[in-house]
Chains A and B, each alone.
Chain A
Amino acid sequence: DTAVSQTPKYLVTQMGNDKSIKCEQNLGHDTMYWYKQDSKKFLKIMFSYNNKELIINETVPNRFSPKSPDKAHLNLHINSLELGDSAVYFCASSQVSWGFRHFGDGTRLSIL
């Protein structure tokens, strides 16, 4: 069974469009995250949710809006996509905020 699953794996779209990425974890963790990994492979935290509540919102444009319908799901909606949004987005979960992360396989977003 996949612990953290995110869809889609690939997302190719045009500038200005709106898109969503979905994430689900079946580990029973209270904390979920979205990370962005750029072309240099640097992994940067975007958001952290604990039991459906936003804990961390790093310096991310407000075009990015996370939504957590329940503690097993954390989706990411992106409005008005820009070229600079091209990256791999990883969903992750952990038992505690300093605990190790279980990562999904990533969503590779390419903006044309």
Chain B
Amino acid sequence: TQLLEQSPQFLSIQEGENLTVYCNSSSVFSSLQWYRQEPGEGPVLLVTVVTGGEVKKLKRLTFQFGDARKDSSLHITAAQPGDTGLYLCAGAYAGNMLTFGGGTRLMVKP
């Protein structure tokens, strides 16, 4: 059974701080997706990374895929209250179904 571990599970920070969320597995991903879920809504895709070592930026969010494609990180610069939500990573293994990580609940206080 493939397992995706996300850390930390919870994160509460002040507006303006930086943070990093991690997504790790012992297996190699063919691709990895990051989602954000806000209260009362479904998860929404932020980015997909495919190539080992790939870095993608989405405004203040930077996504990195590990060289070995077993891990990924999401870095948020100067967090804002609007970044509050549940961040989920999901890994695809050799064309099979996606497996979701347990999520990181982020709260950014004004």
Which residues on B sit within 8 Å (CB–CB) of A104?
A: 42
Interface size on B, residues (CB 8 A): 24
Q: How many A-B residue pairs have CB under 8 A?
A: 53
Q: Please tell me if the beta carbons of B97 and A92 are within 8 angstroms of each other in the complex.
A: no
B contacts with A: majority SS: strand
Identify which of A42, A97, A100, A106 contacts B97 (C-beta below 8 A).
A97
Which residues on A sit within 8 Å (CB–CB) of B41?
A: 105-106
Q: Please tell me if the beta carbons of B96 and A97 are within 8 angstroms of each other in the complex.
A: yes
17 more A-B residue pairs beyond the given contacts A43-B43, A43-B103, with a C-beta to C-beta distance below 8 A: A40-B102, A41-B86, A41-B102, A42-B100, A42-B102, A44-B100, A45-B98, A56-B97, A90-B42, A98-B30, A98-B97, A100-B33, A101-B35, A101-B43, A101-B90, A103-B42, A103-B43
A-binding residues in B (CB < 8 A): 30-31, 33, 35, 37, 40-45, 48, 86, 88, 90, 92, 95-98, 100, 102-103, 105
